[in-house]
Amino acid sequence: MELNASTRNLTATSSPYYSKDAFIISSGASHHLTGNILLFDQESLFQYYDTLKVGNAYPMDIVGFGSITRPSLTLPDVRYVPGLKVNAVSIGQLSAMDYDVLFIKNGGCVVKERLGGEVVGEATLLNGLYMVDYLRIPLDRICLPDYETVEAALGFL
């Protein structure tokens, strides 16, 4: 990953450490985000409409949310943003779900349960980004915006 100074957008490079499946730990993301619909557990994907501002306040549409289950990543309540080039795990959303992100001296970080202290994830610092090595958040730990949003997404309103 590199920062393109002319557009100030994160862009994927040919780095062997980045792929369409890779996630970064982000303090700037309001929600867990991906632009790759193939990552979702298809039975968990719901329609949901909202707008997200990225980079230099460029608006992008959120069109769904769901869960992701992969060998190294289990993550509920991920927003689907078509065209988004970077997959992000939101520190703010983790905090709202009672997890803490601790940055450690060796250049990595760990994600721990706030109450029990169990380590549920780790990330490695690479080119200024914390790349998720693994993260396992139980799928029942969700952090949805509000009750009306859930009803609207499920078609009750």
pLDDT of residue 79: 96
Does residue 36 belong to any structural domain of this protein?
yes
149 falls within a domain? no
Is the predicted pLDDT of residue 8 greater than 90, yes or no? Answer: no
Within a domain: 150 = no
Query: How confident is the model at residue 49, as a pLDDT?
Result: 92
- Give the chain's domain count: 1
Distance CA 18, CA 24 (A): 10
* Average pLDDT of the residues of the chain: 82
pLDDT computed for residue 152 by the predictor: 54
How many other CB atoms are there within 10 angstroms of residue 156's CB atom?
8
Q: Between residues 88 and 147, which one has the greater pLDDT? A: 88
CATH code: domain of residue 135: 2.40.70
> Which residues on adjacent β-strands are paired with residue 8?
none
CA-to-CA separations, 101 to 71, 81, 114, 135, 145, in angstroms, rounded: 21, 24, 9, 11, 21
The answer as to whether 17 is a domain residue is no
For 64-90, how does the pLDDT look when each residue is reduced to its tens digit (9 = 90+)? Answer: 999 999 999 999 999 999 999 999 999
Does the pLDDT of residue 39 top 80, yes or no? yes
Higher pLDDT, residue 142 or 29: 29
pLDDT tens, 96-139? 999 999 999 888 999 999 999 999 999 999 999 999 999 999 99
Domain annotation covers residue 12: no
The verdict on residue 75 lying in a domain is: yes
Structural domain span for residue 34: 25-139
Asked if residue 134 belongs to a domain, the reply is yes
**The pLDDT of residue 92 is above 80:** yes
Residue 153 within a domain: no
Q: What is the reported pTM?
A: 0.79
- Flag whether pLDDT at 148 surpasses 60: no
